[in-house]
Amino acid sequence: MRFMSFVTSAHAGPPTAELIEAMNKLADREIRAGRMVDMGGLTPVAMGAQVRIADGKLSVIDGPFVETKEVIGGYAIMEFRNKEEAVASAVEFMQLHKDFMPDWEGTCEVRAFAGP
């Protein structure tokens, strides 16, 4: 089963060097283990744009945005045998945040791809 995981956080600022290093190691291990099929990081939300529909009106808003809620920093597409494996992997990934950036808070969302 193919899953996409992405981390959302209200935490401003980049991850610490230690966390980046640990995440790279983990990603490397996952590639070698054949589970990681694709991954990518996203530039800050301020550099993006939002195309919105509200009250029947379509509008394009360029960043930076007034309200900064939880934002997505990057994603990983991985292949697992079942949801339990996907969750165990996400737990391991989030544990790194806890270990290397103790004041950080956020959510790793794990979602299976639709389809067969």
Partner 1 sequence: MPALEATFLQTWSAAMTVADAHRTILAVWRIEQPRLITSLARMLRDVPLAEDLTQEALLAALERWPATGVPEKPGAWLMATAKRRALDHLRRSRMLERKHDIVAWDMEEEQQAMPDLDSALDDDIGDELLRLIFTACHPRLSHEARAALALRMICGLTTQEIARAFLLPEATIAQRIVRAKRTLSESGLAYETPSGEELSKRLSSVLEVVYLIFNEGYTAARGEDWLRPQLCNEALRIGRVLTSIVPHEPEAHGLLALMELNASRTAARTDAGGEPILMLDQNRALWDQLQIRRGMQALGRARELGGAGGIYVLQATIIACHAQARTAGDTDWSRIAGLYAELAAVVRSPIIDLNRAVAVGMAEGPEVALVIVNRLTREPALKGYHLLPSVRGDLLHKLGRYEEARAAFEAAAALAGNKREHDLLRRRAAEAADAAMSS
**Binding positions for partner 1, rule: CB under 8 A:** 22, 25-26, 29, 31-35, 37-38, 77, 79-82, 84-85, 87-89, 91-92, 95-96, 98-99, 115-116
Task: State the minimum distance, in angstroms, from the CB of residue 33 to partner 1.
Answer: 7
Which is closer to partner 1, CB of 48 or CB of 85?
A: 85
For Cα atoms 59, 60, 61, give the angle at the middle one, nearest 5 degrees: 115
- Closer by beta carbon to partner 1, 45 or else 77: 77
CB of residue 61 to partner 1, shortest distance in Å: 30
Which are the contacts of 11, defined by CB distance < 8 A and separation ≥ 6?
A: 104, 105, 106
Q: Could you tell me the smallest distance in angstroms from the CB atom of residue 84 to partner 1? A: 4
| Nearest in space to 35 (alpha carbons), one of 72, 69, 73, 1 | 1
Kindly tell me which of 29 and 111 has the beta carbon lying closer to partner 1: 29
What is the spatial distance between Cα 79 and Cα 112, in angstroms, rounded to a whole number?
A: 9
CA gap 24, 77 in Å, rounded: 15
CB nearer to partner 1: give 65 or 80: 80
